[in-house]
Amino acid sequence: MAGVASSSRQRSKIAPYLMILPALVYLAVFFVVPFFSLARTSLSSSGGSVFMPTLTFSWDFGNYLDAFTRFPDQITRSFGYALTATVVCLLLAYPLAYVIAFKAGRYKNLILGLVILPFFVTFLIRTLAWKTILADDGFVVSALGSIGLLPSEGRLLSTSWAVIGGLIYNWIIFMILPLYVSLEKIDPRLLEASKDLYSSNTRSFRKVILPLSMPGVLAGSLLVFIPAAGDFINADYLGSTQTTMIGNVIQQQFLVVKDYPAAAALSLALMAVILAGVLMYTRALGTEDLV
Amino acid sequence: MAKEIDPRLLSQFAAARTSRRRFIGGSAAAAGALALGGSFLAACGSDDKPSSTTSAAPDDGSPASGTLRISNWPLYMADGFVAAFQTASGITVDYKEDFNDNEEWFAKVKEPLSRKQDIGADLAVPTTFMATRLHTLGWLSDISDAGWSNKGNLRPDLLEASVDPGRKFSAPYMSGLVGLAYNKAATGRDIKTIDDMWDPAFKGKVSMFSDAQDGLGMIMLSQGGSVENPTTESVQKAIDVVKEQKDKGQIRRFTGNDYADDLAAGNVAIAQAYSGDVVQLQADNPDLQFVVPESGATTFVDTMVIPYTTQNQKAAEAWINYVYDRANYAKLIAFVQYVPVLSDMTEELNKIDPGLASNPLINPSKATLDKSKGWAALTDEQTQEYNTLYAAVTGE
């Protein structure tokens, strides 16, 4: 009897590990191994034949120095664009998520469905569609031009505004959904209680709703900022020669120049800078749990 | 199947489409080409699909049978052509339009090829410089003269080209010009020289190729440089001009093969362009013009090659030979509208459409051809050096 009990206790100890095993294997195969391969490449120097280079691991930290000194414009531009896109996404998404969570009533599912609907269309098609909408001869440009609201280039497409707009459009859903989830979780009785205590609407938003929705704000910001900073499709299709982002450089180093160590160093540098930014951000917001 | 359709009708159909051989190339857009190319293919209702094979060839060891896997550029094929080949040869063709960009394709196949592993294609259609690179790396099979009896139809200048004298490993498929395309409604005047690209009136309305050879060639020619004998100095001199104009905001985009969208939409007034694309675009927009700059333009030749990992060498040779039949080849030209690589095509082209052979972009004048130069076969080091130098401008 005692033996059976201890073996079942043992089994219950192993069970959690068994349950995370598939995820661990997945992470090991698709993250840890490629990550180390990338890190190794980034510290290698290439030699031998030009198109079939042999990479020799040589602790070549010069690749990292090069990454920062050769492409400072693209790095600052990427973070500038991503930051702008994240802030605008937050400003646009918060009221929408608020309305869906508190005011939509029986239309809640319908509105959520409408929010998600455009994302059934491929990312590329949606981005290319903006090329048509923002075309120089299109009605948007002529309408804005007639009221004098065009940027200095006299066009919309192939400007930084188009790139930032594309980033906002493509990533905003990742802001709306976490915000909605965190707002939806708020117990309405807390709001009633704040009203009972004579709090104004503004005050109960500031003291009750906003703090309780912070996990959503944090998660949403990260989900928008991180992919936006590494994006290259929007800059490629909606941008110009003056709006290249670090993603475009990495892509070009990998596929055209085929300087794998430089490309790998750039990728890891980007990752490190994002990680540092994210750590500072989470610390500043003081949120322990992300969701 | 092809016999049921009037080829002339087909050629008009081809010209009416705004889609082109290199529909979307830009190294970013392999996926885009798949997404968009797919829908255009569906719209074509092509009967080229491998599923429509008439019958599996008997695998009895007779010359050229079984399955042939072809990897070609998007929209570089005539409707009914593959089916007609299958009927004529008994070979089953698995035809894929998955070749979007030379360098990107190379990045994809180099690992398996270096280990002599199958790349899923028995025949591919890289541009000359890429075919040469593959040959130098020892990754191509020679094309046997026995299986290629129509070789004599090849233009003499291409047969004896310095990159592959006597055409041992590469069979030219199409040739064309890299020149300037412009929208006359937008420019308001004729464009004749490279300097016209830098006219301040067209600020932010000019696009250039991001590919080093296609982008820089005509600039080098305008500076008195040579693409047949390029030097680092002449390449750098061209890059300096491009950088200066880019910094001024004159150049809107460095494009892959997606320049035509901007040109057709009016976002770009002058674009570096491939001749065949413009012939097709003119059908929709008569304002579009293609011009060889006064100082000259560069030519390109895409070639059929057989990777050394091919699983059906004989069928690949049978395909090349079939393409090299003038009557067959005329059907291809009617669709893709590039410059034929076979000689004496006038008669066959006129059978399909009397206007075809006299189109100056399909049949360029001697004056045009005299101004057009082909890039020398660059060494790997040169290619890498020029790519890196140019990328420093296009990527910043």
pLDDT tens digits, residue range A185-214?
999 899 899 999 998 999 999 999 999 999
Pick the closest to residue B234 from B396, B377, B386 (CA basis).
Answer: B386
The three-point CA angle B151-B152-B154 to 5° equals 75
**The pair of three-digit structure tokens given for residue B290, joined into one six-digit string:** 């293609």
Residue with tokens 């494009």: B255
Residue with tokens 């309780």: A212
The CA-based diameter of chain A, rounded to the nearest angstrom, is 87
Q: Quote the minimal CA–CA distance from B268 to chain A in Å.
A: 9
Checking if the pLDDT of A13 tops 50, the result is yes
Render pLDDT for A14-69 as a digit per residue (tens, 0 to 9).
888 899 999 999 999 999 999 999 999 999 988 777 777 888 888 888 888 888 88
Which among B23, B27, B214 is the top mutation candidate for probing chain A, defined by the most A β-carbons within 10 Å of its own β-carbon? Answer: B27
Inter-chain CB proximity B32 and A124 less than 8 Å: yes
Contact present, B382 and B230 (Cβ < 8 Å): yes
**H helices, E strands: number in chain B:** 17, 12
Contact present, B15 and B356 (Cβ < 8 Å): no
What residues in B contact A256, CB-CB < 8 Å? 27, 103, 210, 387, 391
Inter-chain CB proximity B104 and A255 less than 8 Å: yes
Q: What's residue A289's pLDDT?
A: 53
Q: Quote the minimal CA–CA distance from B143 to chain A in Å.
A: 24
Q: What's residue B378's pLDDT?
A: 86
> Are B181 and B279 within one domain?
yes
Q: What's residue B80's pLDDT?
A: 94
Topology of the domain covering A72-285: MetI-like fold (1.10.3720)
Q: How many other C-beta atoms can be found within 10 angstroms of the C-beta atom of residue A46?
A: 18
Residue with tokens 């930051």: A83
What residues in A contact B245, CB-CB < 8 Å? none
User: Domain holding B180: CATH number?
Assistant: 3.40.190.10
- Which is more confident, A286 or A92? A92
Render pLDDT for A109-148 as a digit per residue (tens, 0 to 9).
999 999 999 999 998 899 999 999 999 988 899 899 888 8
Using CA coordinates, name the residue in chain A closest to B386.
A257
What are the sequence ranges of the domains in chain A? Answer: 2-42, 72-285
Calculate what percentage of chain A has a pLDDT beyond 70: 94
The CA-based diameter of chain B, rounded to the nearest angstrom, is 67
> Are B308 and B283 within one domain?
no
Q: Quote the minimal CA–CA distance from A62 to chain B in Å.
A: 18
Pick the closest to residue B220 from B63, B376, B13, B32 (CA basis).
Answer: B376
Nearest to B249 among A132, A239, A242 (CB): A242
Nearest to A135 among B32, B104, B266 (CB): B266
Q: Where are the alpha helices (DSSP H) in B90-193?
A: 102-114, 128-136, 156-159, 184-187
- Give the CA distances from residue B182 to residues A68, B191, B215, B252, B260, in Å, rounded to whole numbers and listed in that order: 39, 7, 16, 14, 10
Render pLDDT for A237-266 as a digit per residue (tens, 0 to 9).
999 999 999 999 998 888 888 888 999 999
Q: What's residue A7's pLDDT?
A: 63
Q: What's residue B333's pLDDT?
A: 93
Inter-chain CB proximity A251 and B27 less than 8 Å: yes
> Are B384 and B247 within one domain?
yes
> Are B207 and B220 within one domain?
yes
Pairing of strands B288-291, B92-96: unpaired
> Are B122 and B253 within one domain?
no
> Are B99 and B202 within one domain?
no
Q: Quote the minimal CA–CA distance from B36 to chain A in Å.
A: 8
Contact present, B158 and B301 (Cβ < 8 Å): yes
B36 touching A, CB under 8 A? yes
Q: Is residue B345 packed enough to be buried (19+ CB in 10 Å), middle (13-18) or exposed (0-12)?
A: buried
The three-point CA angle B250-B251-B254 to 5° equals 175
The three-point CA angle B3-B5-B9 to 5° equals 135
Contact present, B106 and B130 (Cβ < 8 Å): yes
Distance CA A231, CA A233 (A): 6
Q: Is residue A110 packed enough to be buried (19+ CB in 10 Å), middle (13-18) or exposed (0-12)?
A: exposed
Nearest to A248 among B381, B388, B395 (CB): B395
Looking at the 3D structure of chain B, how many domains does it have?
2
Low-confidence ranges of chain B (pLDDT < 50): 1-61
What residues in A contact B249, CB-CB < 8 Å? 153, 242
Q: What's residue B143's pLDDT?
A: 96
Render pLDDT for A56-114 as a digit per residue (tens, 0 to 9).
888 888 888 888 888 888 999 999 999 999 999 999 999 999 999 999 889 999 999 99
- Give the CA distances from residue A194 to residues A202, A214, B127, in Å, rounded to whole numbers and listed in that order: 11, 18, 72
Q: Is B136 helix (H, G, I), strand (E, B) or coil?
A: helix
Pick the closest to residue B169 from B191, B195, B137 (CA basis).
Answer: B137
Which among A41, A51, A71, A131 is the top mutation candidate for probing chain B, defined by the most B β-carbons within 10 Å of its own β-carbon? Answer: A51
> Are B346 and B381 within one domain?
no
The domain containing residue B170 runs over which residues? 2-175+301-364
Q: What's residue B208's pLDDT?
A: 96
Nearest to B387 among A124, A237, A257 (CB): A257
B116 touching A, CB under 8 A? no
The partner residues of B304 in beta bridges, in order of sequence, read B171
Using CA coordinates, name the residue in chain B closest to A249.
B395
> Are B75 and B217 within one domain?
no
Render pLDDT for B33-84 as a digit per residue (tens, 0 to 9).
333 333 333 333 333 333 333 333 344 445 678 999 999 987 789 999 999 9
Q: What's residue B280's pLDDT?
A: 76
Q: Quote the minimal CA–CA distance from A19 to chain B in Å.
A: 35
Ramachandran sector of residue B75 (left: φ over 0; alpha: ψ -120 to 50; beta: rest): left
Q: What's residue B268's pLDDT?
A: 94
Distance CA B241, CA A6 (A): 80
What residues in A contact B251, CB-CB < 8 Å? 241
Q: What's residue B159's pLDDT?
A: 94
- Give the CA distances from residue B73 to residues A4, A103, B127, B236, in Å, rounded to whole numbers and listed in that order: 67, 53, 10, 31
